[in-house]
A and B are shown apart, each in its own frame.
Chain A
Amino acid sequence: DAKTTQPPSMDCAEGRAANLPCNHSTISGNEYVYWYRQIHSQGPQYIIHGLKNNETNEMASLIITEDRKSSTLILPHATLRDTAVYYCIVRVSLLSSNTGKLIFGQGTTLQVKP
Chain B
Amino acid sequence: DAGITQSPRHKVTETGTPVTLRCHQTENHRYMYWYRQDPGHGLRLIHYSYGVKDTDKGEVSDGYSVSRSKTEDFLLTLESATSSQTSVYFCAISEDRRGLAKNIQYFGAGTRLSVL
A residues within 8 Å of B by Cβ? Answer: 30, 32, 34, 41-46, 49, 51, 87, 91, 93-94, 96-102, 104-107
**Which of B13-21, B61-69, B78-86, B102-110 lies at the interface with chain A?**
B102-110
Closest residue of chain B to A95 (Cβ to Cβ) is B56
Cβ contact of B42, chosen from A43, A46, A94, A107, cutoff 8 A: A107
In the complex the two chains form, is A96's CB within 8 Å of B103's CB?
no
Q: Which of B84-114 contact A (CB under 8 A)?
A: 90, 92, 94, 96, 98, 100-101, 103-110
Complex Cα gap A105–B106 (Å) = 17
Apart from A49-B101, A102-B43, list 5 A-B contacts with CB within 8 A. A43-B92, A43-B110, A96-B50, A99-B48, A104-B35
**Assembled-state Cα–Cα distance A44/B88 (Å):** 12
A-B pair count, CB < 8 Å, reads 66
Chain A positions within 8 Å of B31 at CB level: 97, 99
Contact A42 B109 (CB under 8 A): yes
Residues of A with C-beta under 8 A to B52: none
A49: contacting residue among B44, B94, B104, B109, CB under 8 A: B104
Assess whether B56 is in contact with A102, with CB atoms less than 8 Å apart. Answer: no
Q: Which residue of A lies closest to B31 (CB)?
A: A99
B3 at the interface (CB under 8 A from A): no
Residue of B nearest to A42 (CB): B109
Contact of B108 among A34, A43, A91, A94 (CB under 8 A): A43
Interface centre among B1, B103, B110 (most CB of A within 10 A): B103
Q: With a CB–CB cut-off of 8 A, which chain A residues contact B43?
A: 44, 102, 104
**Do A91 and B101 contact each other (CB < 8 Å), given the known contacts A42-B110, A104-B42?**
yes
A45 partner residues in chain B, CB cutoff 8 A: 107
Give the CA-CA distance A101 to B44 in the complex, in Å.
Answer: 10
